[in-house]
Structure 1
Amino acid sequence: MDRYELRREDYSLSEDQTDLLSAYQKFFKANCSIESVRAAEATGFDKGLWERLCATGATSMALPESVGGDGATMVDLALVAEEIGRSLAPVPWIDHVCAARLLARLGALGPDDGAIVSGEQIVGLDPRQVDAGGRRLVPCGSIADHIVVRDGDDVVRLTFDTRPPHVDNIGRLPMAWVDPAAADAATVLASGPQALAAYQLALDEWRLLTAAALAGLVEETMTIAAEFAKTRYTLGVPIATLQGISHPLANMAIVVQGGRALARRAAWYLDNEPDARPELGPSAFVFMAEESSKAATMAVHIQGGLGVSAEAAATAYLVRARGWPLAGGDPGATAVRIAHIVAARESA
């Protein structure tokens, strides 16, 4: 038996990970109410929440100790991402940590980049699967101090003296059109196959953490719908007792557990055996991209007229469930990538 044989089938959390999850549950519950989420919708960013989040070490934890980080595992990061999704936190944490990890991987995060490690400066990336050249929509483009993009065979860091203007979007993200040709400074960080492989790994991490966030989002959506169903009566009984309500709620619970398990499994493999199951992270993303929208839509339906009102929390979760996965382009492109990975392994 090798040292990983049992762990490959056991994705239970360690005591430290359980404490980490509990700490961030309490943090977002105390600092990110649905009212504050609504207040930040115009820009997609809550600067005060971001500063408080960074003060907890949420940005430095994601980086290796060699660059001033804390060396957290991908499983640890997935736990934080889950709580970000649960609270709809308007902060660019997933984009920032994936881009910062990419900079560290390329040796482009030096002693002078402590502001990136601490989160004082925000760094983002273009999470699309392919490089189409020219302008591209970047999820945190309107607030990032640095943006890492793929330009042909090069990985380039862009800096703008004036940030690109915010573009309204259904995910309520601080999204902007970014044109590498218009950047005030463009630094080629690395070139060639190894550089592109490092960038692809950052994209896989982005999708994995987004999948974890969507699992948290669906669980909170389910909670909102379930609480309503337990207190709303028809014909003298709670509507939660009706099959047309109870069965969809059970399906939502299955989505939460399935998506969470898949994301944590993918995170464990990415930490320990990255070449063994590279399709797991993209698979978690494709699964949650489809199922989160269905689950959030059902939550709105369960609440009826209240659910479709603009001020309802369920509506806020629905638009995020539909918008967040699209920040990385068409999820179908990720499904194609999964097919290529599996086909190449089977043919080999």
Structure 2
Amino acid sequence: MDLELTPDERDVAEAFARVFTRDSSSERVRAAEDTGFDPALWKTLAGMGAIGIAVPAAAGGSGGGFVELALIAEAAGRRLACVPLIEAAVAARLLADAGAPAGLVAAAVDGERVTVLAPRPAQQGVARRVPAGSVAEGVVALDGDELVLVHGPSGPGAAGGRDLGFQAVADRPLRGPGLDRHVLAAGVEAHELWRRARDRWRLGTAAGCAGLAAEALDIAVRYATGRHQFGAPIGSFQALQQPLADVAMAADGARLVAREAAWRHDHGLQSWAGAAAVAFAHAAETAVRAAELCLHVHGGYGFTMEYDAQLYLRRAKATRLSAGDPDLLWEEIGAATMAAGAH
């Protein structure tokens, strides 16, 4: 396994790092905080082909892979981008894989319609707490034994306005009047397509969490280096050096396991789905640890709205919970590992 980036992959990483640094500054994030969506940034990413990066060229996408998507997600995570990049990219690939009408695929790939994946199965005809659910025009979800694409408004259970991680989270009804419902697949095929998309979402979101953790750590280190107490930088105190070192190792690990999962996916290895689950569980946990440490290093300042530490902590906690109970995911990973060992 070679996780060294190719020249083309480095170009992708550098290009999108510049874009997010420029177009997802702290000021832009704060301006989009109430809605959880930055339309100008969305338009920029759509124009660069980011939404269709992992969609085959024959289906109208950019023809790249999930390594490229992971690199873009890392850059987005570092800057707390207020766009549903992963949810939209995975939904676009799912529509292509399901053989959806070309017009629906094109609208998702081009960003003409914000179309996102619901990362959890629907309950009683409602996709619960969908990232970007309050701004998306279309949601792809598993509703019972049907994989559906539903266009329509958010339901009364929507978490409209401000939410914990400023990700425009909302409930989305999948049945009822005023909804345009397309059945993409049914039965075993529907479940298989959705699980694959869910695992791809885990993969991409893990990369985003790795980027968030890395930036939260950088912010903490910069503050610890510049803040003096008792005549010395607080970063020179062992009480901070040890946790900073621990998080640095965990953040490096999060980046590597996310990239490994993407590499396994793009090389057609069946183990990629299990690797994606581990990557998401570890990276999401690490993002929360890094953000909590960042806030701790800032002391009382970290709790104030004027500092960015609280932004990173809120996004990290919300993202970790977006797939449901984290303990259940670790149980799923453990059960899969035990089952693999039994064969």
What's the counterpart of residue 278 of structure 1?
Answer: 273
Q: Between 338-347 and 10-19, report the one with greater CA deviation.
A: 338-347
Structure 1 CA distance, aligned partners of 2:273 and 2:52?
A: 25
Instruction: Give me the CA root mean square deviation.
Output: 1.5
1:203 aligns with 2:198: yes
Residue 75, structure 1, aligned to residue 60, structure 2: no
Work out the CA distance in 2 between the residues paired with 1:318 and 1:101.
Answer: 30
**Residue 125 (structure 2) aligned to one of 110, 134, 139:** 134
Tell whether 2:162 aligns with 1:171: no
1:127-276 alignment, distance < 5 Å: 127-128=119-120, 130-135=121-126, 136-160=128-152, 162-164=153-155, 166-167=159-160, 168-182=162-176, 184-276=179-271
Q: Which residue of 1 aligns with 2:286?
A: 291
Contact 1:85–1:214 (Cα < 8 Å) also in 2:
yes
SS at match of 2:147: strand
Cα displacement (A) at 1:347: 2.0
**How far did 1:132 drift?**
3.2
Task: Give TM-score, length-normalised by structure 2.
Answer: 0.94
Aligned to 1:93: 85
- CA 1:228 to 1:124, structure 2 compared with 1: closer, same or farther past 3 Å? same
Q: Secondary structure of the equivalent of 1:42?
A: coil
Tell me how far 1:218 sits from its aligned partner: 0.9
What TM-score results when the alignment is normalised by the length of structure 1?
A: 0.93
Q: CA deviation at 1:112?
A: 5.7
Structure 1 counterpart SS, 2:340: helix
DSSP-derived class of the 2:141 partner: strand
Q: Distance in 2 between matches of 1:157 and 1:321?
A: 28
Correspondence 1:61 to 2:53: yes
Residue 140 of structure 1, CA deviation? 1.4
Contact persistence 1:278–1:341 (CA under 8 A): no
Establish whether residue 121 from structure 1 lines up as the match of residue 116 from structure 2. Answer: no
Equivalents in 2 of 1:274, 1:111: separation in Å? 31
1:115 is displaced (CA, Å) by: 2.2
**Cα distance between partner residues in 1 of 2:218 and 2:31:** 22
The superposition leaves residues 176-219 of structure 1 with CA deviations (integer Å, 9 ceiling, x where unpaired) of 11121235121211012122111101111111111110111111
The runs of at least 4 consecutive aligned structure 1 residues that moved more than 4 Å come to 163-166
- Counterpart residue number, 1:5: none
Identity of aligned residues (%): 38
Map of 1:43 onto structure 2: 35
Q: What residue number does 1:3 align with?
A: none
Q: Distance in 1 between matches of 2:273 and 2:180?
A: 34
Contact 2:53 2:89 in 1 (8 A): no
Answering whether residue 15 of structure 2 is matched by residue 23 of structure 1, we say: yes
Could you tell me whether the CA contact under 8 Å between 2:52 and 2:93 is conserved in 1? Answer: no
Structure 2 segments unaligned to the other structure (5+ residues): none
- Give how far 1:166 is off: 4.7
For the residue of structure 1 that corresponds to 2:301, the secondary structure is coil
Q: Name the SS for the 2:175 alignment partner.
A: helix
Q: Is the 8 A contact 2:92 2:105 kept in 1?
A: no
Matched, 1:11 2:14: no
Determine whether 1:321 maps to 2:313.
no
Unpaired runs of at least 5, structure 1: 1-7
Counterpart secondary structure, 1:324:
helix
Structure 2 CA distance for aligned equivalents of residues 56 and 201 of structure 1: 25
Matched residues in 1 for 2:32 and 2:202: separation?
24
